[in-house]
A = this chain, B = another copy of it.
């Protein structure tokens, strides 16, 4: 998404903008974590970043673009895809990775932000999509391998199984507010596996 170079002109000062950008995005995440999306102010971010608000407005279209950038950066780290040779272990590993990523203070707050009504903005929808669709697609081999090994019914839908795995974890995180730990992850794996074995997750 970076703009093309204009070779006739002098190169724009390289490190300065990047430092500023990093400071602002970090400050945005911190503000979101502490106060939430509805309470976010550009001036607050500017103060925390040690930057003037005009600088922010010159680099981001509006505060939503800023938040979207910050979230995209934070959730850019991919979850490792396990391959132990046993579905149950793989699913448990996936679930535990998810739990670990979402139980940090920042993870919770930023998840909340992604789910807030900001989600009606296209930029946020993209971040959300990357978080819940693309990530899941990357993990699908875990299921297809298990099917090939004969551990799961042949018509098991990989995406559906992964959603059945993630749903109980996100549900506790976001809705009931109950503690979420490795036991939660293991239980989610057990539920998803039971559903798959029972043939409750057929490809449509």
Give me the interface of A with B, judged by CB distance under 8 Å.
35-39, 109, 112-113, 115-120, 125, 128, 132-133, 160, 163-164, 166-168, 170-172, 174-177, 187, 190-191, 193-195, 197-198, 200-201
Distance between A133 CB and nearest chain B CB, rounded to angstroms: 7
Instruction: Say which residue of B128, B168, B193 sits within 8 Å of A163 (CB atoms).
Output: B168
Q: Name the prevailing secondary structure of the A interface residues.
A: helix
Closest B residue to A116 using CB positions: B116
* CB pairs A–B below 8 angstroms (13 shown): A37-B116, A39-B117, A109-B117, A112-B119, A125-B177, A128-B175, A133-B176, A166-B171, A170-B175, A190-B200, A194-B194, A194-B200, A197-B198
Cα–Cα, bound, A175→B111 (Å): 10
A164–B191 CB distance below 8 A: yes
CB neighbours of A38 from chain B (8 A): 37-38, 116-118
Cα–Cα, bound, A119→B174 (Å): 10
Closest B residue to A196 using CB positions: B194
Instruction: Say which residue of B35, B120, B125, B167 sits within 8 Å of A168 (CB atoms).
Output: B167
Closest B residue to A131 using CB positions: B175
Distance between A74 CB and nearest chain B CB, rounded to angstroms: 16
CB neighbours of A168 from chain B (8 A): 163-164, 167
| Given A117-B38, A117-B113, A195-B195; A171-B176 close (CB under 8 Å) | no
A117–B171 CB distance below 8 A: no
Instruction: Say which residue of B116, B120, B170, B190 sits within 8 Å of A117 (CB atoms).
Output: B116
